[in-house]
């Protein structure tokens, strides 16, 4: 319980990286901004290394019970850092030489830091801080695009973020008042005698805030707009990284809730709503960024299944962690293809297999992984989350998730089918995106790497799995 | 050895896919060579196969894969799977030869079919439910690209329908597998273990639900009435070799699942619900035959006869689990007949679809009214088509007769009222005779004049498939000696 700051090494490295990248960017000329890019990439890479090292110790809570150092924290930090690294890499084409390059890296790192804090904290007050740290840089990132769409998306995200942030803080206040303490340990012991209705109010408030970060119903409205309006780098980041923090935070919080409140049912309903609404809204999208935006909403629904059975099934936590990693790789892969081609309409992808076979392959793997086709990563994620869900008694939800998976195939195929079609696209004047192939290469390589990760995670899931099986620190 | 047989085509597919510089001609022949090598390997396995004692597996391999959920890379063959593995390599070899004249992206096509071959072999060799599901799903993905990429007509739409429909089936199957896993003790996805444990035997409600999920998945794949609606459009718009693989191999995955998964792992539930399965089988037999009779499109007609032929399999496996009649021998005959029918239908229907592909290639249509008197311009075609039609309608001397005879002998011995399905045979006979008459006999008319006779690359694969059917029909012991011990084991397992 001492003040051992070394357990926060990943956070410290990322924070230092964010500050240094910003300073280095401020003092370098426009054509030397790659320095801050390098610093940022280095920071998250080192952070990932520390994160992995941090999972090797015994689970414990530090700083008077406000921060948990356990498998969930370590894996979440690792996913966040690696995903951020991939996002920085795919952003090469879009960001290089722009006037706000170093600021973008800095903001991304700060938001990632917020997600890391959310995933590791075991105190509702620190959770609120993590929420703000993860959210505020995000508003700026979305608005950075400077297009009318970006402005609208930033405003929408900001308003919703502020609203759900207040809900979160209200919930935190209620729980704090009821328990007389803010750490999860105190919550779990003190709330047992508290009135269930009051706990429910507090819990709903906090969960609403987390739903905003997770992109799950009811806090999902900003996702499709932001995915479409923001730059592709920001879009990839905001659909991937904050989710990790939010889901681990939700899992951790719910694990300490007394069973006087029927929270599994609440989470189950949110999960059902997310996957169904996300799927149906994605159906007829023709803009791939919007399509992916809605797809992340539905993925959030699947990710809520293990959260709903937190503590009920031995598979719940490892399956959640695995699904998050699998989802991050697949989602980044799909967005990286968009970044590499610069095409935004589904029909623009017609004949991609002829012009860019490797990209088409990466797209195929990423999208089939999002569907949940074996042997890709999300398949193992879905298999284990479904098993955990059924094991935890939510059979109805698992059946619904299976039906939704079939339904989701339809819109992913709407994108895959043209890409592999025989006849190439009629040349469209709008697709004038073949400039600067050296920077395009970054996004294309990221797509291939992310696709390979999605495949490897699936094929060798058994090797990674023991690493995920650790209990939460209490 | 077995892994090599399964993954050799995949390795070749990767090479073909990754190197765009490979010339078309080399790609076509590489496919033939790999398919032939795989066929030779399976023939070697068949020769070396010895019935393992008490229901074990031959050529077994097991490597841990995802130990935390009790799933491993576990493969092996027995009398149920070896005939289907052999069928798979033969049909794929036939397709590779037939495709030697392919002009449309032959390299990609060869890669795709080799990939598909690995996934089909994997399904029949898998001894772990997750592994089975993996290959099962990959076969769907592969076939989707075959139809969408090389089909004609409304290929994109048919491919989408095929994918969505069979993906729904596969997810139902996955739910069933998860159910089996959760009720097993210790928890496992291993098929051998699950067959030994029969985890849901004391639990009629959960057993019924899990069986329902598994049956739904398999019934869509088979397909049986009322889940067959994806089949006719998929066949009509698929390329000839795609149809041959779809009908010859992919449909067998459904019926194979009945005998490999549903019957041994859920015996009580299977016996409780056998009457439903029998009724579905009977409806499929009669409905498939009647609808096929009404078709004027040759490919649709053959597609519906597949529904009919798979219906025999379903009613046989249903009857093998039905209550009443303590005659284990009759049940064994029914299961043996069902397995023989799978092989037989695979050979004959693949040949018929390749023949239909010849018509499309020459004259551009499957419409039977556009032809007439084909025997004159295309005598070899006419001969093989007539042979295929007679084999398919169950003429003695061909494999179809052996299969259907055993199915009815075994089923009626157990459940007399399945005799109501007998008119199915009559209708099938009528529709094939009608088709032979419309296409082959009479004056040369319509587009028949454009139909030149079979080339060697067509004659060889189609002829081989039909000769194998004839071989099984004349000396059935080669096949039955392999199948009978396995079907006896299934009957014992389902009788627990």
pLDDT at B276 > cutoff 70:
yes
Q: Do B69 and A387 touch (CB under 8 A)?
A: yes
pLDDT at A258 > cutoff 90:
no
Q: Do A462 and B68 touch (CB under 8 A)?
A: yes
Residue pair B89/B120 in contact (Cβ under 8 Å)? The answer is no
What is the Cα–Cα distance from B415 to B399, expressed in whole angstroms? Answer: 24
State the nearest Cα–Cα gap between B163 and chain A, in angstroms.
9
Q: What are phi and psi of A129, to 5 degrees?
A: -65, -45
Helices then strands, counting H and E runs in chain B, come out as: 21, 2
Task: Please tell me which residue of chain A has the smallest CA distance to B134.
Answer: A374
Residue pair A149/A227 in contact (Cβ under 8 Å)? The answer is no
Mark which residues 310-349 of A lie under 8 Å from B by CB.
315, 318
Cα–Cα nearest to B336, from B481, B186, B456: B481
Burial of A432 (0-12, 13-18, 19+ CB in 10 A): exposed
Q: Which residues of B touch A406 (CB under 8 A)?
A: 164, 167-168, 171
pLDDT tens string A194-220: 899 999 999 999 999 999 999 998 999
What's the mean pLDDT in B290-318?
92
What's the mean pLDDT in B24-28?
91
pLDDT tens string A121-158: 999 999 999 999 999 999 999 988 778 889 999 999 99
What's the mean pLDDT in A344-358?
88
Residue A435: the pLDDT is: 43
Residue with tokens 């089923």: B411
Neighbour count for residue A393 (Cβ, 10 Å): 14
Residue B326: the pLDDT is: 66
The band of A364, judged by pLDDT with boundaries at 50, 70 and 90, is very high
Q: Which residues of B touch A373 (CB under 8 A)?
A: 137-138, 141
What is the Cα–Cα distance from A163 to A151, expressed in whole angstroms? Answer: 18
What is the Cα–Cα distance from A206 to B282, expressed in whole angstroms? Answer: 57
Residue B122 tokens read as: 């994997």
Residue B6: the pLDDT is: 94
Ramachandran region, residue A234 (left: φ > 0; alpha: ψ -120 to 50; beta: rest): alpha
State the nearest Cα–Cα gap between A81 and chain B, in angstroms.
26
Among A26-35, A377-386, B38-47, the minimum mean pLDDT is found in: A26-35
Residue A183 β-bridge partners: A123
Residue with tokens 């020459």: B362
State the nearest Cα–Cα gap between A402 and chain B, in angstroms.
6
Give the total number of structural domains in chain A: 1
Q: How far is CA B239 from CA A414, B104, B145, B167, B235, in A?
A: 22, 11, 11, 21, 8
Q: What are phi and psi of B77, to 5 degrees?
A: -125, 155
A473 part of a folded domain? no
The band of A425, judged by pLDDT with boundaries at 50, 70 and 90, is low
pLDDT tens string B171-195: 999 999 999 999 998 899 999 999 9
Residue A1: the pLDDT is: 45
Residue A440 β-bridge partners: none
Residue A86 tokens read as: 């991939």
Cα–Cα nearest to B60, from B43, B71, B72: B72
Buried-exposed string A80-91: b where 16+ CB fall within 10 A, e elsewhere: bbbbbbbbbbbb
SS percent in chain B: helix, strand, coil, step 5: 75, 5, 20
Q: What are phi and psi of A115, to 5 degrees?
A: -65, -40
Mutation for B interface: A376, A380, A381, A413, most B CBs within 10 A = A413
Q: Is A375 on the interface with B (CB under 8 A)?
A: yes
Work out the mean pLDDT of chain B and round it to a whole number.
91
What is the Cα–Cα distance from B133 to B137, expressed in whole angstroms? Answer: 6
CA angle at residue A405 from A238 to B198, to 5 degrees?
130
Cα–Cα nearest to A331, from A159, A422, A451, A242: A451
Q: Do A406 and B138 touch (CB under 8 A)?
A: no
ipTM reported for the complex, 2 dp: 0.91
Q: Do A374 and B149 touch (CB under 8 A)?
A: no
Residue pair A420/B145 in contact (Cβ under 8 Å)? The answer is yes
Among A253-262, A265-274, A431-440, B437-446, the minimum mean pLDDT is found in: A431-440
The DSSP-derived string for B47-80 is HH----GGG--EEEEEEEEEGGGTEEEEEEE-TT
- Which of A384, A390, A417 lies nearest to residue B69, judging by beta carbons? A384
Q: Is B19 on the interface with A (CB under 8 A)?
A: no
pLDDT at A437 > cutoff 60:
no
What sign for the dihedral angle of Cα A210, A211, A213, A214? positive
What is the Cα–Cα distance from A253 to B46, expressed in whole angstroms? Answer: 58
The band of B52, judged by pLDDT with boundaries at 50, 70 and 90, is confident
Q: What are phi and psi of B199, to 5 degrees?
A: -60, -25
Burial of A62 (0-12, 13-18, 19+ CB in 10 A): buried
pLDDT at A434 > cutoff 50:
no
Residue B78 tokens read as: 């027995």
What sign for the dihedral angle of Cα A46, A51, A55, A59? positive
pLDDT at A11 > cutoff 50:
yes
pLDDT tens string B69-121: 889 999 999 989 999 999 999 999 999 999 998 888 889 999 999 999 999 99
Q: Do A399 and B149 touch (CB under 8 A)?
A: no
Q: Do B160 and A417 touch (CB under 8 A)?
A: yes
pLDDT at A428 > cutoff 60:
no
The band of A301, judged by pLDDT with boundaries at 50, 70 and 90, is very high
Q: Do A386 and B178 touch (CB under 8 A)?
A: yes
Q: Tell me the CB-side half-sphere exposure of residue A54, using CA atoms within 13 A.
A: 28
Residue with tokens 């799977």: B81
Q: Is A398 on the interface with B (CB under 8 A)?
A: yes
Domain extents in chain B: 2-494
What is the Cα–Cα distance from B287 to B284, expressed in whole angstroms? Answer: 5
CA angle at residue B167 from B161 to B168, to 5 degrees?
95
pLDDT tens string A50-83: 999 888 888 888 888 889 989 999 999 999 999 9
Cα–Cα nearest to B468, from B90, B109, B168: B90
pLDDT at A440 > cutoff 80:
no
DSSP state of B368: G
Q: Do A417 and B156 touch (CB under 8 A)?
A: yes
Mutation for B interface: A346, A417, A466, most B CBs within 10 A = A417
DSSP strand pairing (A67-69 vs A60-62): antiparallel
What is the Cα–Cα distance from B457 to B468, expressed in whole angstroms? Answer: 17
Q: Which residues of B touch A368 (CB under 8 A)?
A: 141
Residue B401: the pLDDT is: 92
pLDDT tens string A101-122: 889 999 999 999 999 999 999 9
pLDDT at B486 > cutoff 50:
yes
Which residues, in sequence order, are CB contacts of B403 under 8 Å at separation 6+? Answer: B312, B337, B338, B340, B341, B343, B344, B345, B394
Residue A417 β-bridge partners: none
Neighbour count for residue B206 (Cβ, 10 Å): 16
Give the helix/strand (H/E) hosting A77.
Answer: helix A71-90
The long-range contacts involving B139-144, CB below 8 angstroms and separated by at least 24 positions, are B139/B250, B139/B253, B140/B166, B140/B167, B140/B170, B141/A368, B141/A373, B142/B112, B142/B115, B142/B116, B143/B116, B143/B242, B143/B245, B143/B246, B143/B250
Q: Do A410 and B164 touch (CB under 8 A)?
A: yes
- Which of B159, B175, B182 lies nearest to residue A399, judging by beta carbons? B175
Query: What 3-state DSSP class applies to B21?
Result: coil
The band of B335, judged by pLDDT with boundaries at 50, 70 and 90, is very high
State the nearest Cα–Cα gap between A114 and chain B, in angstroms.
32
pLDDT at A436 > cutoff 50:
no
Q: Which residues of A touch B174 (CB under 8 A)?
A: 383, 386, 402
Task: Please tell me which residue of chain A has the smallest CA distance to B167.
Answer: A406
Q: Which residues of B touch A374 (CB under 8 A)?
A: 130, 133-134, 137-138
pLDDT at A300 > cutoff 90:
yes
Q: Do B181 and A465 touch (CB under 8 A)?
A: no
Task: Please tell me which residue of chain B has the smallest CA distance to A420.
Answer: B149
- Which of B159, B160, B182 lies nearest to residue A390, judging by beta carbons? B182
What is the Cα–Cα distance from A203 to A243, expressed in whole angstroms? Answer: 19
The DSSP-derived string for A80-100 is HHHHHHHHHHHTHHHHTT-TT
pLDDT at B453 > cutoff 50:
yes
What is the Cα–Cα distance from B88 to B113, expressed in whole angstroms? Answer: 12
Residue A470 tokens read as: 């650790």
Residue A78 tokens read as: 């690792």
Q: Do B130 and A461 touch (CB under 8 A)?
A: no
What is the Cα–Cα distance from A156 to A141, expressed in whole angstroms? Answer: 13
Highest mean pLDDT (candidates A18-22, A425-429, B154-158): A18-22
E-strand ranges in A21-167 read 60-62, 67-69
Q: How far is CA B221 from CA A209, A351, B215, in A?
A: 44, 30, 10
Q: Which domain holds residue A196?
A: 5-468
Mark which residues 244-263 of B lie under 8 Å from A by CB.
none
Q: Is B53 on the interface with A (CB under 8 A)?
A: no
Residue A2: the pLDDT is: 53
What is the Cα–Cα distance from B69 to B358, expressed in whole angstroms? Answer: 48
A474 part of a folded domain? no
Residue with tokens 């990710």: A303
State the nearest Cα–Cα gap between A397 and chain B, in angstroms.
12
Buried-exposed string B25-44: b where 16+ CB fall within 10 A, e elsewhere: eebbebbbebbebbbebbee
Residue B172: the pLDDT is: 94
State the nearest Cα–Cα gap between A387 and chain B, in angstroms.
6
């Amino acid at each position: 319980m001492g003040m051992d700051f070394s357990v926060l090494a990943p956070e410290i490295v990322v924070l230092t990286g964010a500050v240094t990248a910003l300073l280095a960017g401020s003092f370098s000329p426009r054509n030397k901004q790659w320095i801050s890019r390098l610093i940022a990439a280095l920071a998250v890479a080192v952070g990932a290394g520390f994160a992995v090292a941090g999972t090797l110790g015994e689970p414990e809570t530090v700083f008077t019970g406000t921060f948990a150092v356990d498998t969930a924290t370590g894996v979440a930090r690792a996913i966040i850092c690696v995903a951020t690294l991939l996002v920085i890499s795919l952003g090469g084409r879009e960001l290089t030489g722009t006037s706000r390059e170093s600021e973008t890296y800095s903001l991304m790192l700060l938001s990632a830091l917020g997600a890391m804090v959310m995933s590791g904290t075991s105190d509702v007050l620190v959770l609120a801080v993590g929420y703000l740290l993860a959210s505020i840089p995000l508003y700026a990132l979305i608005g950075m695009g400077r297009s009318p769409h970006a402005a609208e998306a930033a405003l929408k995200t900001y308003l919703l973020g502020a609203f759900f942030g207040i809900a979160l803080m209200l919930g935190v206040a209620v729980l704090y008042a009821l328990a007389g303490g803010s750490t999860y340990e105190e919550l779990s012991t003190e709330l047992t005698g508290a009135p269930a209705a009051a706990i429910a109010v507090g819990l709903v408030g906090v969960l609403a805030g987390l739903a905003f970060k997770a992109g799950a119903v009811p806090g999902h409205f900003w996702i499709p707009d932001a995915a479409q309006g923001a730059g592709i780098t920001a879009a990839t980041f905001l659909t991937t990284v904050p989710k990790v923090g939010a889901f681990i935070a939700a899992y951790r919080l719910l694990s300490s809730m007394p069973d006087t409140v029927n929270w599994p049912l609440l989470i189950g309903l949110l999960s059902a709503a997310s996957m169904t609404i996300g799927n149906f809204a994605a159906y007829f999208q023709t803009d791939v960024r919007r399509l992916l935006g809605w797809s992340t909403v539905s993925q959030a629904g699947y990710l809520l299944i293990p959260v709903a059975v937190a503590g009920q099934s031995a598979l719940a936590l490892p399956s959640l962690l695995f699904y998050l990693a699998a989802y991050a790789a697949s989602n980044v892969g799909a967005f990286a293809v968009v970044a590499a081609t610069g095409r935004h309409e589904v029909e623009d992808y017609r004949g991609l297999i002829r012009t860019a076979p490797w990209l088409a392959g990466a797209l195929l793997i990423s999208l089939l992984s999002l569907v949940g086709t074996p042997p890709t990563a999300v398949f193992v994620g879905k298999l284990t989350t479904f098993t955990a869900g059924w094991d935890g008694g939510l059979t109805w939800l698992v059946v619904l998730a299976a039906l939704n998976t079939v339904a989701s195939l339809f819109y992913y195929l709407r994108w895959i089918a043209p890409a592999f079609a025989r006849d190439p696209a009629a040349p469209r004047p709008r697709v004038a995106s073949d400039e600067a192939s050296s920077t395009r290469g970054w996004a294309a390589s990221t797509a291939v790497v992310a696709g390979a990760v999605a495949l490897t995670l699936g094929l060798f899931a058994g090797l990674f799995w023991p690493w995920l099986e650790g209990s939460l620190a209490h | 050895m077995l892994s090599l047989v399964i993954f050799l085509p995949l390795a070749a597919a990767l090479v073909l896919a990754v190197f765009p510089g490979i010339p078309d001609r080399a790609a076509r022949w590489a496919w033939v060579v790999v398919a032939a090598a795989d066929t030779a390997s399976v023939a070697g396995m068949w020769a070396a196969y010895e019935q393992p004692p008490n229901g074990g597996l031959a050529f077994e391999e097991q490597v841990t894969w995802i130990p935390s959920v009790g799933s491993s890379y576990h493969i092996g063959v027995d009398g149920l799977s070896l005939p289907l593995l052999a069928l798979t390599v033969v049909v794929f070899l036939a397709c590779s030869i037939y495709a030697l004249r392919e002009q449309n992206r032959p390299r990609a096509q060869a890669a795709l079919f080799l990939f598909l071959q690995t996934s089909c072999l994997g399904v029949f060799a898998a001894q772990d439910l997750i592994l089975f599901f993996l290959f099962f799903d990959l076969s769907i993905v592969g076939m989707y690209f075959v139809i969408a990429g090389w089909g004609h007509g409304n290929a994109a739409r048919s491919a989408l329908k095929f994918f969505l429909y069979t993906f729904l089936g596969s997810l139902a199957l996955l739910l069933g597998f998860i159910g089996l896993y959760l009720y097993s003790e210790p928890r496992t996805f291993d098929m051998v273990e699950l067959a030994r444990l029969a985890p849901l035997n004391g639990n009629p409600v959960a057993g019924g639900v899990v069986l329902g999920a598994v049956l739904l998945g398999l019934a869509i794949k088979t397909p049986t009435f009322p889940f067959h609606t994806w089949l006719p459009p998929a066949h009509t718009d698929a390329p000839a070799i795609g149809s041959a693989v779809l009908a010859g191999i992919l449909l067998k995955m459904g019926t194979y699942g009945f005998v490999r998964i549903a019957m041994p792992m859920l015996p009580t539930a299977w016996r409780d619900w056998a009457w439903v399965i029998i009724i579905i089988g009977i409806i499929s037999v009669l409905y498939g035959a009647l609808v096929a009779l009404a078709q004027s499109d040759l490919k649709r007609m053959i597609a519906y006869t597949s529904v009919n032929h798979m219906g025999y399999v379903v009613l046989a496996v249903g009857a093998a689990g039905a209550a009443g009649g303590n005659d284990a021998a009759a049940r064994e005959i029914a299961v043996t007949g069902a397995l023989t029918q799978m092989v037989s239908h695979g050979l004959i229907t693949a040949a018929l679809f390749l023949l239909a592909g010849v018509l499309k290639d020459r004259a551009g249509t499957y419409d039977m009214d556009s032809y007439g008197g084909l025997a004159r311009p295309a005598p070899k075609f006419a001969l093989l088509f007539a042979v295929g039609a007679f084999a398919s309608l169950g003429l003695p001397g061909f494999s179809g007769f052996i299969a259907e005879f055993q199915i009815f002998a075994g089923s009626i011995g157990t459940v007399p009222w399945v005799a109501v399905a007998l008119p199915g045979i009559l209708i099938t006979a009528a529709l094939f005779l009608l088709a032979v008459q419309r296409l082959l006999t009479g004056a040369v008319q319509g587009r028949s004049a454009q139909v030149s006779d079979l080339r060697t690359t067509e004659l060889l694969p189609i002829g081989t498939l039909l000769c194998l059917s004839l071989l099984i029909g004349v000396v059935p012991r080669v096949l039955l000696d392999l199948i009978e011990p396995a079907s006896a084991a299934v009957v014992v397992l389902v009788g627990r």
